[in-house]
Structure 1
């Protein structure tokens, strides 16, 4: 049975339990696309995908994960298993099937874990935009190309000291050169609206999770979009190996693309999503 929305006076929310409700938006009609935001971002990051794609005949659903944006901050559930279950709750509540899941950055791990945990009965395909969680970030004996744990730990310490300064030090590299200060501030405001506790918990979760076996088991069509100038998630560590691990993946590399290419290259991202979905939903 589909879960009820929060209550009649608060439309746009899906209740998960007594402590948690997720804010969502559902625009347009047609083939369904479900958008999962990057770490500390929320559904607003997808405005420049959802609005044009909804206008061109797609149903675009986006939601704020727990501890992000307008959703509840229950102080728990900041792990991939719970986030995958939250995604299932959204799909169930909106009665969605044959969906294409579109995830940015951290959300690549949510999508992979969702498919591992709930299967592909609702899913027609996946689009990973600038994936940052997969296949395996941590340097280990069998993953020598990963990153040393000290880098993640230092980043979390820096974030917990002053998240506004953490953001400011990375802001320009996140977007393409010449991006306006207004866009950078818009993004910073989204990030600062997330629960700091959730941000730290999920950053650690991203560091320690190995998705290699889960990726190898996925058999739905996949599209990986990644920029060759991504300072947040280098192509050679995340996007390239992720595409190689997926049996039915296509990798498209954007020359000059950075982590924020969902904004800087919005028209191209939208066209690539449209073409991918049209091909596999035909």
Structure 2
């Protein structure tokens, strides 16, 4: 499997990231959600390559087959990793596609490096702009609920992840679309991730406020969110970011859960490919 070496800017160490690179044409970079790996994009990679694009999917540090450093799981380090991938492959005119937590990498990347190598962006089920409930974000997730998640990750991680997968897909409503085998497959991916990375990246998506950075997203942007997302409710995320990102197209998918890349893959893929070709 191919790897790229990216420098850890805070410690001067090198981190190796696993990536997959298929097809030819304009590069589309897929940034996976928490706590999965690049394997979540199985149904999108085929559609993107078939549509005539080059598709690159990689594992975030600490996940999949990438290196597992002890420190530096903040969004600045993660955006630097993305920059390392783009520079290593000398990619130009990229489309950055971030799912859930991955939306933060898209916004932080554009804040740090601008759009010299990026033509478009896509935010799918994204945590942008702020997860946590604050005085000026009253509809966010209460801090005590986030503390419960962190404690569960420390004390019963593999059990928590099994239940999380069901909520990810609104499983009770989508048993015709999500098999028990799929849940076991996801659990195998998530439970195999670095325990340290799982917790530290959760702290990053739970506490990072991207509201001041949304003005840095100047490229054409597609925002897609499921109306029935129980992990990242649409009202606290994409409804807000769609009002602040200037040049965006906003699509809400009826009845779709957080994991719409599987349950509503046809609708997602159609919207994504149409945007790539526009």
Question: 2:97·2:124 contact (CA, 8 Å) conserved in 1?
Answer: yes
Which residue is 1:59 aligned to?
54
Alignment of 1:142-221 (within 5 A): 142-176=136-170, 177-178=174-175, 179-221=178-220
Q: Does 1:242 align with 2:241?
A: yes
Which residue is 1:6 aligned to?
none
1:18-43 C-alpha deviation (Å, 9 max, x unpaired): 54200001000012100000012111
1:208-252 C-alpha deviation (Å, 9 max, x unpaired): 211001012321111111111111000001121121111111111
Select which of 64, 75, 84 maps to 1:80.
75
Q: Does 1:70 align with 2:70?
A: no
Question: 2:107·2:216 contact (CA, 8 Å) conserved in 1?
Answer: no
Question: 1:19·1:72 contact (CA, 8 Å) conserved in 2?
Answer: no
Q: Equivalent residue of 1:157, what SS?
A: helix
Shift of 1:263: 1.0
Separation in 1 of the partners of 2:135 and 2:47?
45
1:109-151 C-alpha deviation (Å, 9 max, x unpaired): 111000001111111111111002x111222222222222111
Q: CA RMSD in A?
A: 1.3
Question: 1:149·1:207 contact (CA, 8 Å) conserved in 2?
Answer: no
Instruction: Report the TM-score when normalising by structure 2.
Output: 0.93
Which residue is 1:5 aligned to?
none
Alignment of 1:212-231 (within 5 A): 212-231=211-230
Q: Does 1:13 align with 2:3?
A: yes
Separation in 1 of the partners of 2:130 and 2:225?
16
Separation in 2 of the partners of 1:111 and 1:60?
16
Q: Equivalent residue of 1:270, what SS?
A: helix
Which residue is 1:97 aligned to?
92
Instruction: Report the TM-score when normalising by structure 1.
Output: 0.92
Which residue is 1:114 aligned to?
109
Q: Equivalent residue of 1:138, what SS?
A: coil
1:62-100 C-alpha deviation (Å, 9 max, x unpaired): 000100000000112211000000000001111111111
Which residue is 2:10 aligned to?
none
Structure 1: where are the runs of 5+ without partners? 1-10
Which residue is 1:128 aligned to?
123
Separation in 2 of the partners of 1:160 and 1:66?
19
Separation in 1 of the partners of 2:98 and 2:185?
19
Structure 1 segments of 4+ aligned residues over 6 angstroms from their partners: none
Query: How many matched pairs?
Result: 268
Separation in 1 of the partners of 2:30 and 2:277?
17
Separation in 2 of the partners of 1:146 and 1:174?
18
Question: 2:110·2:216 contact (CA, 8 Å) conserved in 1?
Answer: no
Shift of 1:170: 2.7
